[in-house]
Amino acid sequence: MLSSFNLGVYDLQDSSNNLIIKSLAPSSDRLPLFIVGDVHGCARELFELIEAAKKHISKFQLILVGDLFTKGPDPVGIYEIIQEYGALCIKGNHDWALWSTIQQAQKRSFHTLAEHTKQTLHLIRYHKRAIFDLLCSLPHAYVSTVVSQLKRNEWEREYPLIIVHAGLDATKGLLGSSERMLLTARYVKWDTKGNEKKLTVVPAGYRSEVLNQASQNTQNQKSAISIDKEKERFRWHELHQGPALIVFGHDAKQGLFRKTLPSGRPICVGIDTGCTYGNSLTGYFPEIDLAVQVRAQRKYFDIKKNIILLKPHQTKLVTV
């Protein structure tokens, strides 16, 4: 976690898709990585997770997979941890949305924003410039090479690592994926136009999924249309067969996820475990193939009301 350590970070910018990809040195030339799922303003849990991780590896480079500040109680605390530990961060869909909201603040009425967005803007009001600058600098992905510290076959000891917020197009690879795929993919489907067959993202927000499922459970039935849609779609990582290990967040409904080769070597690890919804915060060490978790202190976000559950002294909003 020492920011002075030489990470060997350099850009692999893809101008065709407007992607910013940053490359890290291989494991042998840097500190081990500790990659943390969607923190959503849960600073207390992030601090506890870092302390828990130190019991396994004392010094590491912290990486956050995005969705840093929104939908949780302490976005400023997250910013301070990022600065203190020299954390590397990836752009998530909520980071893009917060950046866009701040950028368009003069054009858009504060009162038209979602309530939880107003709450976040209030919570960061004294740090808005610094957080905006950080959001502007976020890449879409980090890539590196893992040199495993575990006993593996010689040909499996070293393999590519890709860290993204949501997913990628396994038929085109990282640089061939769209920004939308990297920021928002949970489910995809095949879309055929003429002779061309390509993957497209199926819109599936976590909140809408949970509310729809609750509604269907209440009615104890699913419409024929919803059943057909479920048959069409599938999770993006079903198409990924390696050799790269892809570590991602964004899919709290799926939770902690692991996909391996027949040998047991991981090729996909999903680490969004819904901390702000009252579940857990998860981090992952790719060099030792280990997930570390801490439980959320409480539920911080009310899905039904679409608001952050703040303490009484935090709830008074001001126009920013």
Greatest mean pLDDT among 49-53, 191-195, 205-209: 49-53
Cβ-proximal residues to 184 (8 Å cutoff; 6+ apart), any chain = 93, 166, 201, 203, 250
The verdict on residue 209 lying in a domain is no
Q: Copy the structure tokens of residue 121.
A: 């803007």
The verdict on residue 305 lying in a domain is yes
The verdict on residue 204 lying in a domain is no
Q: What is the pLDDT of residue 207?
A: 57
| Average pLDDT over the chain, rounded to an integer | 88
pLDDT bracket for residue 112 (50, 70, 90): confident
The verdict on residue 123 lying in a domain is yes
Percent residues over pLDDT 90 in the chain: 72
**pTM for this structure?**
0.88
State the pairing for strand pair 280-285/234-235.
unpaired
C-alpha distances in Å from residue 268, one per residue of 30, 161, 166, 264, 314: 22, 10, 12, 11, 38
> Is pLDDT above 90 for 252?
yes
The verdict on residue 280 lying in a domain is yes
The verdict on residue 218 lying in a domain is no
* CA–CA separation, 20 and 42 (whole Å): 26
> Is pLDDT above 80 for 260?
yes
Residue 184: which domain range? Answer: 10-189+236-314
Strand partners, 164: 141
pLDDT bracket for residue 193 (50, 70, 90): confident
* CA–CA separation, 9 and 25 (whole Å): 7
How many domains, in total, are found in the chain?
1
pLDDT tens column, 54-86: 999 999 999 999 999 999 999 999 999 999 999
Contact by Cβ (8 Å): 148, 122: no
Nearest to 45 by CA among 274, 259, 291: 274
The verdict on residue 82 lying in a domain is yes
pLDDT tens column, 265-275: 999 999 999 99
Kindly state the average pLDDT of the residues 272-283: 98
The verdict on residue 205 lying in a domain is no
Task: Report the CATH number at residue 144.
Answer: 3.60.21.10
